[in-house]
A = this chain, B = another copy of it.
Amino acid sequence: MDKIKTENTETEILIAAKEIFQQKGMAGARMQEIADKAKINKALLHYYYRSKQLLFEAVFKSAFSLLAPQLNKVLNDDSDLFEKIRKFTENYVSFVIKHPYLPNFVIQELNKNPEFVQKLRSEKNFPSIEKFKLQVSDAINQGIIKPIEAEQLFINIISLNIFPFIGEPLLMALVNVDKESYNKILENRKTEVAEFIINSIKI
């Protein structure tokens, strides 16, 4: 069948483009390099994706659609607040190991192109904080946690989990450890971070 071949190349391109874009960013990526990695002619890139910009947008959306469900684990999961924090923290490390450049890529390109957010917001599955807000105020009313704004708590959870990966080269240097030791630190964070957060808010 024709379809198979087409879908293969199209996917090969996307896979190659992901790698290059996520490592080098929009500005640093080269169409030729993507073509080489996908083992095809450069013209084929344009055949399937018209322009660098469109190829980039395909990669970006695909990347975000992987990240979004992760964030939804904090925002829209049904489980109990503490359990949710524990699960997210543990899952997130595994997620980043699978996609090491992804979170940094999304955040970086969003910084260079803040209007990109609009394009994401309109898509379905864009995480919403509303449910989490209710959950936090419920927990406060029930005397389970100390008063805290849901937004602040959310930012804290995300920061503690994402930054150690984004800031890895800097943190490795500051903490003065090699990659192996740093990985152990990250591994420990799977449980440490959740307890750190819960310790802070529980009554």
A residues near B, CB below 8 A? 23-28, 71, 75, 104, 106-108, 110-112, 114, 116-117, 120-121, 126-129, 146, 148-149, 151-152, 154-156, 158-160, 162-164, 166-177, 185, 188-189, 192-193, 196-197, 199-201
B151 engages A162 (CB within 8 Å): no
Min CB gap A89→B, angstroms? 12
A170 engages B127 (CB within 8 Å): no
Q: Which of B151, B162, B174 contacts A154 (CB 8 A)?
A: B174
> Cα distance A16–B182 when bound, in Å?
36
Min CB gap A188→B, angstroms? 7
Interface of A is mostly: helix
Q: What is the oligomeric copy number? A: 2
A146 contact set on B, CB distance < 8 A: 199
Could you give 26 example pairs across A and B, Cβ below 8 Å? A24-B27, A25-B25, A71-B174, A104-B111, A107-B169, A111-B169, A120-B173, A126-B173, A128-B176, A148-B192, A148-B196, A149-B185, A149-B188, A149-B192, A151-B185, A152-B189, A152-B196, A154-B174, A155-B163, A155-B171, A155-B185, A158-B171, A159-B159, A159-B160, A159-B162, A196-B200
> Cα distance A154–B192 when bound, in Å?
13
Shortest Cβ distance from A195 into B: residue: B200
A110 contact set on B, CB distance < 8 A: 169-170
Shortest Cβ distance from A199 into B: residue: B200
Min CB gap A31→B, angstroms? 14
A106 contact set on B, CB distance < 8 A: 170
**Most chain B CB within a 10 A radius of its CB, from A23, A75, A114:** A114
